Amino acid sequence: MVSNDSSSDSRSKVSTKIVVAGGFGAGKTTLVASVSEIPPVTTEAIMTEASVEHDDISATPTKATTTVAMDFGRITLDHELIMYMFGTPGQSRFWFMWDDLVRGAVGAVVVVDSRRLADSFDAVDYFERNQRIPYIVALNRFDGRLDYTIDEIREALEIAPEVPIVDFDARDRSSSGSVLKTLLMYALSRPTQPEPVG
């Protein structure tokens, strides 16, 4: 296949990433599918506990075989800028790989199912502690309604006062797109947090 781009043009392409987190079944993949220009792709992550810590994995063979499915989507924002959206594995036993996945993200969305608030506590807690990655909370309006007010949810999940909380419908393209816009605006409004190297 011959590309119309000259080599120098395609070299000027850059990419960026946002992370979509939340409890199992909260609507992460639905959000990614609503805004992505490609059907969400599932890839196998092999960032295991063993490989994070050691080069030699032969001593812990059972850990080495752990694989985690991860969904991602893509939006071409202009001719030189592509944004990827990565859904994090929902199960809490995969938290060890979050640092790798979150590294280098411009921001994160924590999708919350307001009927099951407790399921999103781990994700909110992770980003409250992380501090470096700007995050917002997006309440997925299942059946068009919310069981709590935004203030009640902020209090229940101990979300910092400056963190935006929006409600949306993950199945709706425009509504999901608004969530991404809110995240980018919030990221731009925050003072830059240098990320440690390595």
Partner 1 sequence: MSYRRRRSARIRPYTFTGGRTRSRHPLMVQTLVSAADPGSEPPRALMPESRSIHELCVEPRSVAEIAAELDIPLGVTQVLLSDLADQGLVYIHPTITGHSPSENQVLERALRGLERLFQ
Name the token pair of 91.
Answer: 């199960």
Name the token pair of 16.
Answer: 């960026």
Tell me the C-alpha distance between 83 and 77, whole Å.
7
Q: 46 or 160, CB closer to partner 1?
A: 46
Say if residues 153 and 159 touch (Cβ distance below 8 Å): yes
Q: What is the CA radius of gyration of the chain?
A: 18
Give the interface with partner 1 as residue ranges (CB under 8 A).
1, 3, 5, 7, 10-11, 13-17, 35, 41-47, 51, 54-57, 61-62, 64-65, 67, 70, 72, 74-78, 81-84, 86, 101, 103-107, 132, 173-174, 176-178, 180-181, 184-185, 187-188, 192-195
Say if residues 60 and 140 touch (Cβ distance below 8 Å): no
Q: 84 or 121, CB closer to partner 1?
A: 84
Q: 65 or 92, CB closer to partner 1?
A: 65
Tell me the C-alpha distance between 153 and 8, whole Å.
49
In the bound complex, what is the minimum distance in angstroms from residue 162's beta carbon to partner 1? 17
**DSSP H or E run through 104:** none
Tell me the C-alpha distance between 187 and 25, whole Å.
26
In the bound complex, what is the minimum distance in angstroms from residue 54's beta carbon to partner 1? 8
In the bound complex, what is the minimum distance in angstroms from residue 90's beta carbon to partner 1? 18
In the bound complex, what is the minimum distance in angstroms from residue 174's beta carbon to partner 1? 6
Q: 104 or 147, CB closer to partner 1?
A: 104
Q: 86 or 126, CB closer to partner 1?
A: 86
